[in-house]
Every structure is written in C-alpha cells, then in structure tokens.
Amino acid sequence: MPDRPVSAIRRVLGDERGLALPFALGVMVILSALTAGIFTYTTMNQGAAKRAQADQRAYGLAETGVSYAFATLQNAADPSNAGSVPSTTVALTGGTVTYNGSLSGNTWTLTGTGTVSNPSGPYAGNVSRTASIQALVTTTTTGDTRPYDYLFVDQPTGCFTLTNTVTIEVALYVRGDLCLENNALISSPAVHVLGNVHVNSPQASVGTSSSLIPDFSITGSCYRNGTPTACSNSPTSRVWASAYGTSPPIIPKPTADFPYWYANADLGPGDSCPALGNFDNDSTMNVSLGQINLTPSTAYDCYVGPVGAPTAQIKWTPGQTPSKPGTLKIKGTIFLDADVKWENLSLVQYDGIATIYTSGKLTLKNQTDVCGVVTCDEDWDPSTDFLTMVVGSMTSATDTTPDTVLVDNFTTFQGAIYAVNDYTQGNNTTIWGPVIAGNADISNSSLFKPLPGALGGLPPGVPSDTVTVTKVQLVPGSYAG
C-alpha cells in the first residue's frame, strides 16, 4: 500500500505529454520570427533593386535630355541667342525628360533631367537624375564655297536651255527659268531653280523613273510643252525626284574683283615674263596682250620668290610627242591682261594649284585637253592639282565675239571656270568640276561631271563672297552627371 503514492508520483513525473504544446508554440514563434525576418530582408532587397533600376532609367532619360538640348542648339536659327534652348518636357517610355540650356558669354550649359515613378509606392517621391554638358558657340567669316558645288547659271531673264543630248551629273543651280529640249538629261544630285522648269521634249527629263533626283527644289512651277503640270514622278511632267521642295537656297553669284587682282596678283602686271609679254604691256587693264597661248612650242618658266621654291609660278614644258601632253606647272594667283586660247590638239597636264585671271576671254576648242592628269579621268585628285580660270568681260582687237568662255569640239577640261558674262559649250565636250557663269548656252553632247574627290577648300584668289559661319562644339571634359 505505501508504494502506490510513490508510483503515482513517478508516473506523473515521467509523463512528458503535457510539454508538447508549449514546445510547439515556442518553435512556431521562432519560425514566424525567422520567416518575418527573411520576408522583410527579401522585400528590402527587392525594393532596393527596383529603386536602383528606377535610378538607372532616370539617368538614361537625363542623358537623352542632354542630347535633345544639344540637337536643339545645333538646329537653332541663331545659337548665340539666349532663348535658343527653352525648358521643354517630353514624355518618353518609362518616364519624362526635361531639358534646357543657359548661355554665359559664348558657352552653353545644356541640362537634362530624367524622372521616373518611385517603385516604392504611390506615396514615395519620384526618382530623378540630372546630367549636363557644355557647348561653345564660335562664329567665323569665310569665303562662301556653295557656288562651287554647282553648274551655276545666273540668268534671271529668258531661259537657260539644254539641248541635243546634254548630260549634267553635277548639282545644278539656275537663277531663272530652266528649259530642256531634245535629249537633255539632268541626273544631278541636286537641282535648285529660282524660276520655272520647262520640259519641251518627250525624250528630255529631270532624273528618270529608275534614277530619281535626290533633291529637287524650285520657286516656280513645272511645265510640259508650255502647259502647267504638277512636279511629280510621272511621264506627264518628266520630273523624277525623291524629294520636292519650293525653297531652294538663295546663293548669289560671287563677285570677281578684277581691278584688285590686276594690282595684287602673286604673279602678274609688273612681273617679268618675256615669253608671255610680261603679263601686261601698258600698265592698264585693257586686254593689251591680245590673244596669247600659255602652252607654246617652246618652254618657259616665270616665277617670283626663291629659285626652286617660288611663291608663285607658271612654267611650261612642251610634250615630247604629239600624243604626249606637255606639263604646265602652276602656283598662286596669276593675272593676264589678255585673251587665253587653247585649240587644235593642245594637250596640257597641269601640276599644282592656281587661279588664273584673264581680263579678256577664254577659248578651248578643237580636241583640246587641259587636265590634272594625263588621262583626263577620275584618277585626278583636285586636292593637289586644281586650276581655276576666272574670265573677264573685256574685248580685244583680236577677239570681239560675245562669248566670255567658249568650250567646243571634243574638248575636256578639269578644274573650275568662272565667267563674268556668257558661257557657251557644245559638240562632244566634257567639264569635270564647277562652272559659274551668267547667260549660258549648252548643247550638242556636252557632259558635266563632278569632282572625283574633295577639293579641300577654295584655292587662293578664287572669287567668293564672304559668309558668316556659326558652329556649335561640345567642350571636352565638361560632362557631368
């Protein structure tokens, strides 16, 4: 009997079933705390990742804003105007961009701010990033090279007419009306006409249906056989272009200052050159030398400056055989008070860069080649060999024809020709390079070809008007963001 209480007590003490519930509750509390901690940690990491992504997007939008600001400044009519880059906000995918510019002196600070929604929730502030860069505005006055990109015809009255298989592969600029007859074809990269275009033949055309003119722009209208027609890609107008415009650039014909160059040429009146009559023979600009041949049967060398390194020169070495061109070495600005004539199998390869002024006329005809290379082809490099003939309007006793320039009868010329007055070309002739003239008459298998390479700026002495050029350039090392 005494043993029973002890056994009962032992049984009670040995029974652990009453501890299971508190133990389970403890474990659950611990696990819940761990789960909450892990969830909080994970949520915080996800939020940080989303915040970093939003920050990166905002930064990318800020850089886009800087690009927008710079493009706006580059396209401004006057980049030196402080209002050229106003504050502008643009909605883009993922956020907004605000860009603007401030001008101090001639330096712009261009700023872009990108803004995206904060991923933390609707009550959190937006994420914004800002970037900036500086740009410098510079203004220079230089010669206007644009006329030398064209066959440039300054004929405000009447019609500049192309007839009988004329082909033009250079850009064409006409101040006045343009008329196409017979088989005339214009395949220029650009046609700019300050007037009307008349196509008066079923074979003539501006461009073709398979080769469109990239840039066609006129201030007037298109006509077909005298009847107004839309300037469109159709057999009706025969004006084929990929872009039509009504605002061609306004480019004046440059002015040639003959009195200035008569007095100030590098090589000219006052300098000795017996083979050519000393460039002038009476100290007056009046075509006193008459008609001269720059490439006679005998050699000559006229120059100023040191022997072997002249500052200006015209030197002729005749060809050794009738089929081998002679060599005309040229340098500087040269003035001749004369008419210049090359004709009857004159074969001339010139070396160097020069501008030759003639107070009278220029004639190239009868199987004459005056070229920068022997082959008179695309191997010519205008950046190293380039001859510009600047032709006046005076008449001499030996040549009273009305043409300022005559190019005729199986002749090839590489270089530039500037004519004060009329220009006439015909009968299987080829010009490589720009021609600038007043009235022009071009016919009979005349071909105009572009320069085969870059000119690299106008040679000294070439007639040009001044133009103010404004440039916008980024300041190296000024980016911040």
CA-atom Rg of the chain in angstroms: 39
Q: Using alpha carbons, list the distances in angstroms from residue 36 to 29, 30, 39, 120, 136.
A: 10, 10, 5, 19, 57
The pLDDT value recorded for residue 35 is 52
The pLDDT value recorded for residue 162 is 95
What are the phi and psi torsion angles at 49 (to 5°)?
A: -65, -45
The pLDDT value recorded for residue 195 is 97
The pLDDT value recorded for residue 20 is 59
Contacts of residue 339, defined as CB under 8 A and 6 or more positions apart, other chains included, come to: 287, 289, 290, 291, 292, 358, 360, 361, 362, 363, 396, 398, 399
Distance CA(277)–CA(410), nearest Å, equals 30
The pLDDT value recorded for residue 208 is 95
Can you give the pTM of this predicted structure?
0.75
Q: Using alpha carbons, list the distances in angstroms from residue 408 to 249, 339, 430.
A: 31, 16, 9
The pLDDT value recorded for residue 143 is 83
Extract the residue ranges of the chain whose pLDDT is less than 70: 1-49, 120-124, 320-323, 397-403
The pLDDT value recorded for residue 132 is 96
The pLDDT value recorded for residue 32 is 57
Cβ proximity of 451 and 433 under 8 Å: yes
